[in-house]
């Protein structure tokens, strides 16, 4: 946890957490350490709602160098420092598994049949949803819930709007028995998948732009610089 880290290690952990908050309104999104290492390596530019900048990448590199390692999240010890040698070994193992997982996840369109209360109780083991609507921004499946009433849905989304995602997750768990991971995914996505890009619609084709400041459409390739 943070109190066990040195000043340099804590600075790295806090910056990584701030990126997670800005991207997903979560203090430490699942897989954060892997995604940000890809940013540091220049392998990705987008993370959740964020388009990572060269400044973000440089700061990650600088903080990691000062800490002489990387930060991972452990279910028992929370934020935990690991040496670069240890981390690079973990990252290589993750890389070997990640492509196969991604190919399997995208090879066929998953069912979006809602989960019943009984199924949610059985899913308490912490596994990821296997049914739902694919979020084009982060790739996870956003589950649907058969027993979620309109009243509870509005109440839960209102909690999130009031900057209380933790309260929203607790309310969802209480309302239908959703396991923690299912509740976290649903609340962070406000119950529906997000488009690949979050900008306003293109004035030419109507598809979402990469950002509010975009001057070129990635879909129809119109350019108005």
Q: pLDDT tens, 35-84?
A: 999 988 888 888 877 888 888 889 999 999 999 999 998 877 889 999 99
Buried b (16+ CB within 10 A) or exposed e, 44-71: eebbbebebeeebbebbeebbeebebbb
The CA-to-CA distance between both ends of the chain, in Å, stands at 47
Half-sphere exposure of 69 (CA within 13 A, CB side): 18
pLDDT band at 225 (very low <50, low <70, confident <90, very high): low
Query: According to the model, what pLDDT value does residue 83 have?
Result: 94
pLDDT band at 152 (very low <50, low <70, confident <90, very high): very high
**Structure tokens of 220?**
């129809």
Query: According to the model, what pLDDT value does residue 178 have?
Result: 93
- Which tens digit of pLDDT belongs to each residue from 84-98? 999 999 998 888 776
Cα→Cα distances 113→69, 142, 148, 152, 201, Å: 43, 11, 13, 19, 30
Annotated domain spans of the chain: 2-106, 117-188
pLDDT band at 142 (very low <50, low <70, confident <90, very high): very high
Would the pLDDT of 193 be above 90? Answer: no
- 187 contact partners, CB below 8 Å, separation of at least 6: 156, 160, 165, 168, 169, 172
Query: According to the model, what pLDDT value does residue 98 have?
Result: 63
Indicate whether this model's pTM tops 0.75.
no
What is the C-alpha separation between 180 and 172, in angstroms, rounded?
9
CB–CB of 79/5 below 8 Å?
A: yes
pLDDT band at 104 (very low <50, low <70, confident <90, very high): very low
CB–CB of 176/117 below 8 Å?
A: yes
């Amino acid at each position: 946890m943070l109190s066990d880290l040195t000043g340099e290690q804590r600075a790295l952990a806090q910056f990584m957490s701030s990126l997670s908050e800005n991207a997903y309104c979560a203090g430490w999104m699942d897989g954060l350490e892997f995604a940000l290492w890809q940013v540091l390596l220049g392998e990705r530019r987008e993370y959740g709602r964020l388009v990572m900048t060269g400044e973000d990448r440089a700061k990650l590199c600088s903080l990691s160098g000062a800490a002489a390692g990387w930060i991972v999240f452990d279910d028992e010890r929370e934020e935990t420092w690991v040496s670069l040698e240890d981390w690079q070994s973990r990252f290589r193992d993750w890389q070997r598994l990640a492509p196969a997982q991604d190919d399997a996840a995208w090879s066929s369109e998953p069912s979006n049949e809602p989960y019943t209360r009984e199924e949610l109780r059985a899913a308490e083991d912490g596994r990821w949803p296997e049914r739902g609507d694919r979020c084009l921004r982060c790739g996870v499946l956003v589950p649907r819930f058969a027993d979620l009433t309109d009243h509870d849905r509005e109440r839960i989304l209102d909690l999130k709007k009031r900057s209380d995602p933790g309260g929203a997750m607790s309310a969802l768990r209480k309302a239908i028995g959703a396991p923690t991971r299912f509740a976290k995914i649903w609340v962070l996505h406000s119950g529906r998948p997000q488009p690949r890009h979050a900008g306003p619609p293109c004035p030419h084709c109507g598809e979402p732009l990469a950002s509010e400041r975009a001057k070129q459409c990635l879909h129809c390739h119109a350019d108005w610089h």
